Structure 1
Amino acid sequence: MTITNEQPSGTVHETSLRALTNEEFVARYGADRFTTSLLNTKSTYAVQNMATAFRRQAFSPIVSLVYDFSCVIVGPREVDYAMGAISDGLPTFIGAMTEAVRNTVEEYGYDDLREGDVLVGNDPYRIGGHVNDLCFIKPIFVDDTIVSFVAMKVHQLDFGGVTPGGFSASKRSTYEDGLVLPPMLMWSQGKAVRQTFSLLFDNTRWAELILPDLFATQTQLGFGERMILEIIDRYGLEPYLGSIRYATDASAERMAEAITELPDGDYTGSSVVDADGVDDTETYAIKVALRVRGSKIEADLSGTSRQARTGINCTFIDAKNAIGCGLSMLLSPGIAFTSGNWRNIDVVCPPGSIVSAMPPDGAVTMYFYATASLLSAVSNALADALGHRAVGGDLGRNVHNTVGVRPDGSQWSTVGAFGGEQGPWGASEVGDGENYIISILANISSLGFEPIEASVPVVALSNEAVIDSGGPGYHRGGSAMSRDSLWLTDSTHFPCPVTLKGSGGFGVNGGKAGITGAAWTFAPTVASIAERQQLLSHSAETLTSSDPIAGVLHPDTKLQDGNDGKYFYFGSRPMWDLPAGSVLRSMTNGGGGWGDPFTREEQRVLADVRNGYVSIVGAARDYGVVVVGDPATDPEGLTVDVDATVRLREQRC
């Protein structure tokens, strides 16, 4: 395989990495293969250690418990800010870091930086993400020359704006979103810049948690700097910079090879976002056309809906990131994740669309809705081309934010805890989809209920897989997750379930779609937690008395009804004020299935019935398997009626 790599110097190389002789490799990268690979490993070791230590030091639960941050090493201007090493973390952060560092440094002034400086910025249109995500960038000097950057992107609990915690789909402009920091110094030559700290803390509700996290950030940036300087001191600057170029070249070559395996052609896919925070009159379509030609892909987003009227948009940086992450996952999941992954991908993204919003009206508060939907559209576009390698659709993306006041007058808040944040992935040729996991672009930790219950007045009543909800297939899609929470004080909720009109969990390779999700509230008719157990049913008898927040539901029974149901709009109220004792129920979409469900082995279907993933009726209807027995009272006594199963499956044929 031969690819063309254009280096910052303008030199064009037309020889694959494997074909390089040892002499040619040293001439290109400044060291032999073993040393170059070793330096890549040392750089990755540095950022992984930064991440581990930072999570241990952090006070904010969004960092210490959720892992909502990432650490990277980026090269200097001479290598076009190539990103060569990353920590475990959020793909939605990591894939935007080359642009974030380049834009921040160039705007501030490359030649104005000094040793000990740390830049900070959070403008979504400059660095991607939303204003809660602060990007910290430390230049690394050798003999007064910048030789690299170490950078961290860290979610902050609150950064001002009209909504505590920031998560709301109702913000209509950037002016409602929160504090925006242009590129500026957080530390100047090792000394904290008081004006920057004051600006930040004058605009956040939880300074006591964020302050120690900032100093932990400085500590870890310093650790990364020391590690890189040790590498340069021992091996030299040329081999270090060569290792960054090699890491990105290797990723680019692997990606080019993976693209070449696709037949040349045009592949189209789409997904939808239900509505914005103004009203439910407009559904936003995200459309992608993937044009595969040899080792390159053009992703054309023309035809995508205009930017939403409230903050469910993303920027072009985020759109580019989602496309690259999606293609990497689908085409070559084992590829090392560097900025080279994007080298063979061109993106056409019209400004003013929901995936390339423009300020001030194109707010990007909840940018992950647009990016998750774009990733789904990319997966959908390649489903047929990939065949057995296709992956079913996942839970979509829904986030729920709640605030309230304790009896002592102190304010409490939860972010992303009791909505549809965790749920199923789609199935693949490897096996069934997982039931309870974070969406692919997030890749953060699932927050346990116990820490939340210990810090805010809420009780988790249930968190369970929904029967017959995963998309049927030879490999079953992950089951939808239903979560009930009891709120012990008056509470104000900002629900944002915007991917429920059409199943995010589409099926592939002959598999079927998962169910669509929904959200409901129940009035405080009883007081005790024990009595609340009566609400855990999913029957029409229980749901009829609910007040639906969102979903396509039967207007009377409030059960999901994708055929004749009514769409209940999450923004029908600016905020949902619930009295103490109310219960919130959130249900995700089900994951998509993979392969013909009527070929799934009878014993696997039997196990699904025994484990509560599939009902006896669903086994016969969706899989053609006749299961005999009572799963509620005698799950171990269940059996398969083999003859009846053969007849049922033959009838479908």
Structure 2
Amino acid sequence: MSSVSTLDITPVAPTRIRDLADADFRAAYGCDRFTASVIVNRLKYAVGHMSTAFLREAFSPIIRDWYDFACTVSGPPEQDYRMAVVSNSLTPFLGTMPDAVRNTVEEYGPDRLAPGDVLICNDPYRGGTHVNDVLFTRPVFADGRIVSFVSMRAHQLDMGGTVPGGFSATKRDVYENGVVIPPVLLWSRDEPVRSTFSLIFDNTRWGAMLLPDFKSVHQQLRLGERLVRENIERYGLAAHLGALAYSCDTSAELMREALARVPDGDYTGSARIDADGLDDTVDYTVHVTLRKRGHDIEADLSGTSAQARTCINCGVSDAKTALGVALTMLLDPAVPFTSGTWRHLDLVAPPGTLLTALPPEGAPMMFWEASGALIAAVFDALNPFLGANAVGGDYGSTNTHNAHGIRPDGTPWTSATQCGGEHGPWGATKAGDGDSYTVLFNLNNLDPATETIEHDAPVVLLRKEHAIDTGGPGAHRGGAANLKDSLWLTDADHHLSPFRTREPSGVGADGGQAGPTGAMWIFPPEDGGERPAKLVPTTPEVYARSVPVAGVLDPETKTLDPENGAYHHFAARKTWRTTPGSVLRCLTNGGGGWGSPFARDPKKVLADVRDEYVSIEGAARDYGVVVTGDPHFDPEGLRIDEEATEALRARR
């Protein structure tokens, strides 16, 4: 439960950047306001240009189709490597990149770097996220000294370890997780370092796919360096460095003003992850206490469960990122991500927890699941006190799918993060209904095209649709859960990771109701054949022949039964093996509703019934709206029985 104790503190607000006199602005930032804005926007163009080129050239599907990378521009060592500009890409990278660049460069030694060097590191404890995410950073020199760093972090499809592709919650320690690369040079004065390339490509299963992406990263870093140097040549070094500071200060100021809208006090919240990859005897709780004083917030993670027995943990940099994501989403989504975003945030992070894992046992792989639970805990802490500004919860877990196998011609294949519940709904807000098909709050990526998925792996996507009656009821409805069926054409080994099916993650806001929990099933081929006899229906009777993977299900019918069902642990089998013709079904959780369901406009309920977001039964049960007609065969003939609706709402 959330709690608050208020304090009577009246802080003195610092001078705002927008209130600075022109002379004071120039003294602070080495240029005028217009020039600072131009330089920052030119740097945004630089990282956008790098991203576009990399996306166009990428061979790896997780980069090409998921946008699983980020580009940043940071300041020099004397500016503490502050990250000033980021690409519009994967959010967990943006929060961890300042620490990753600083820790990597400081450990290697900035005095050892030369023009044309590219330094890399993928250690989660040094820089956040997981071993598949490799940091590439390149110094920018001017007047014989480092004046900036242009950096990219890009997910590599495989970095060794016991599971091809890496995505699995069953690995026990860093040794099973994958190869760890400390800060080393990949290019020295623009010449490849053979020993580093050999270290990586001796440990990856798909070197032919990684190599062209590495070469592309090198070229994008060279492009970024050239664009930064062009700014310096045009506007001067003082203006460039001042603009970097201005960008970070602007984010800090916007976050400070957002925090000021929260009453001073102590706010507590929590969220759970169902289990780890061993069994269901241990569940994991993320606990946060937010102490708001003036323009600052201290987030204390004390009380969070000890680090997991498997690789579902995250590191402290990921926790820091999640804190920034949660507060910007709740208080001001317009705050740009720079190092300044966290200036007024303090993190109290005891070591060795689910959110602050330590090696060797505390391996981070599925890091976004634990950090996403921290976002949910912050929502739990603040939502009760935000009133109309509260935000409904999202679908909670990517339900990540990772599979591999051998084609009939003997060639290996892999499919990662494409055929599970990687996309799903958000919760509703005061602005409107929740989006029904997007990514978790702490992600920001694309949705792979169906044609691409089917090209890259022996799979056919049979169904990808919204599920009826799965959006949390409210004056604004939560986004509907996503139902995805994938047909596998060869033998396959699946690693499946739905982490939050025991209780709703899409919690309601400001009187809205929670979205229901989801589940995952495997339907073996019928009659021993290699293809299903027909498209697997969604009616209740079909589930009896399924193999439950995750969810709270009726023991006999194997349908969802969150009140009285039995919980199925997602890693009851370390590897879920299927034969040709098997169908994997993933149903995500639903998004949370906002506001009282009986305050929803009956016309919107009618539209939901027509669009099959809500059933006729659900309209009456959840919204008190009586709809007549047939939504499937005559959607335009649906009507509201206004008299019956008025009577039903009055009784409720």
Retained in 1: the 8 A contact 2:473–2:622?
Answer: yes
* Cα separation, 2, equivalents of 1:267 and 1:303: 14
Q: Superposed, which structure 2 residues align to 1:156-555 within 5 Å?
A: 156-397=156-397, 398-525=399-526, 527=529, 531-533=533-535, 535-539=536-540, 541-555=541-555
The Cα offsets for residues 301-342 of structure 1, whole Å up to 9 and x where unpaired, read as 111111000000000010011101111121111122211010
**3-state SS of the aligned residue for 2:175?**
helix
The Cα offsets for residues 374-395 of structure 1, whole Å up to 9 and x where unpaired, read as 1111112111222111110001
* CA shift for structure 1 position 528: 7.0
Runs of 4+ aligned residues of structure 1 deviating over 3 Å after TM superposition are 1-4, 526-530
Partner of 2:106: 106
The Cα offsets for residues 143-178 of structure 1, whole Å up to 9 and x where unpaired, read as 220000000000000000000000010000000011
What is the identity, as a one-letter code, of the residue corresponding to 2:29? Y
Partner of 1:579: 579
* CA shift for structure 1 position 2: 8.8
Retained in 2: the 8 A contact 1:264–1:293?
Answer: yes
* CA shift for structure 1 position 538: 3.2
* Cα separation, 2, equivalents of 1:220 and 1:377: 38
* Cα separation, 2, equivalents of 1:530 and 1:556: 22
* Cα separation, 2, equivalents of 1:492 and 1:92: 28
* Cα separation, 1, equivalents of 2:360 and 2:532: 49
* Cα separation, 2, equivalents of 1:577 and 1:201: 28
What is the identity, as a one-letter code, of the residue corresponding to 1:504? S
Question: Once the two structures are aligned, what percentage of the paired residues are identical?
Answer: 53
Partner of 1:620: 620
TM-score, length basis structure 2 = 0.97
What is the identity, as a one-letter code, of the residue corresponding to 1:531? A
Retained in 2: the 8 A contact 1:484–1:536?
Answer: no
What is the identity, as a one-letter code, of the residue corresponding to 1:311? C
What is the identity, as a one-letter code, of the residue corresponding to 1:491? A
What is the identity, as a one-letter code, of the residue corresponding to 2:448? L
Q: Superposed, which structure 2 residues align to 1:92-103 within 5 Å?
A: 92-103=92-103
* Cα separation, 1, equivalents of 2:301 and 2:509: 22
* Cα separation, 1, equivalents of 2:534 and 2:505: 31
Retained in 2: the 8 A contact 1:2–1:16?
Answer: no
What is the identity, as a one-letter code, of the residue corresponding to 1:449? T
**3-state SS of the aligned residue for 2:98?**
helix
* Cα separation, 1, equivalents of 2:383 and 2:617: 29
- Farther off after superposition, 630-639 or 588-597: 630-639
* CA shift for structure 1 position 531: 2.5
Retained in 2: the 8 A contact 1:606–1:640?
Answer: yes
Partner of 1:89: 89
What is the identity, as a one-letter code, of the residue corresponding to 2:143? D
* CA shift for structure 1 position 440: 2.1
Q: Superposed, which structure 2 residues align to 1:94-173 within 5 Å?
A: 94-173=94-173
* Cα separation, 1, equivalents of 2:530 and 2:77: 62
* Cα separation, 2, equivalents of 1:375 and 1:343: 18
Retained in 2: the 8 A contact 1:551–1:568?
Answer: yes
* Cα separation, 1, equivalents of 2:603 and 2:576: 45
Q: Does 1:35 align with 2:35?
A: yes
The Cα offsets for residues 268-294 of structure 1, whole Å up to 9 and x where unpaired, read as 111110100111100101111111111
Retained in 1: the 8 A contact 2:132–2:156?
Answer: yes
* Cα separation, 2, equivalents of 1:35 and 1:620: 59
Retained in 2: the 8 A contact 1:320–1:347?
Answer: yes
Partner of 2:6: none
Retained in 2: the 8 A contact 1:3–1:16?
Answer: no
* Cα separation, 1, equivalents of 2:427 and 2:130: 27
The Cα offsets for residues 179-232 of structure 1, whole Å up to 9 and x where unpaired, read as 100000000011000011111100101111110000100000000000111111
* Cα separation, 2, equivalents of 1:482 and 1:606: 22
* CA shift for structure 1 position 536: 2.2
* CA shift for structure 1 position 3: 7.5
* Cα separation, 1, equivalents of 2:571 and 2:44: 44
* Cα separation, 2, equivalents of 1:532 and 1:389: 46
Q: Does 1:592 align with 2:577?
A: no
The Cα offsets for residues 431-470 of structure 1, whole Å up to 9 and x where unpaired, read as 1111111112121101122111112111111111111111
* Cα separation, 2, equivalents of 1:482 and 1:452: 17
Cα distance change of structure 1 residues 260 and 166 upon mapping to structure 2, 3 Å threshold = same
* Cα separation, 2, equivalents of 1:89 and 1:553: 37
Retained in 2: the 8 A contact 1:2–1:15?
Answer: no
- Farther off after superposition, 452-461 or 222-231: 452-461
* Cα separation, 1, equivalents of 2:595 and 2:531: 43
Partner of 1:7: none
* CA shift for structure 1 position 19: 2.0
* Cα separation, 1, equivalents of 2:135 and 2:363: 19
The Cα offsets for residues 360-385 of structure 1, whole Å up to 9 and x where unpaired, read as 00010111110111111111211122
RMSD: 1.2
Partner of 2:18: 18
* CA shift for structure 1 position 486: 0.9
Q: Paired residues, what number? A: 641
Cα distance change of structure 1 residues 491 and 3 upon mapping to structure 2, 3 Å threshold = farther
* Cα separation, 2, equivalents of 1:538 and 1:446: 27
What is the identity, as a one-letter code, of the residue corresponding to 1:464? E
What is the identity, as a one-letter code, of the residue corresponding to 1:374? L
* Cα separation, 1, equivalents of 2:148 and 2:499: 41
* CA shift for structure 1 position 62: 1.1
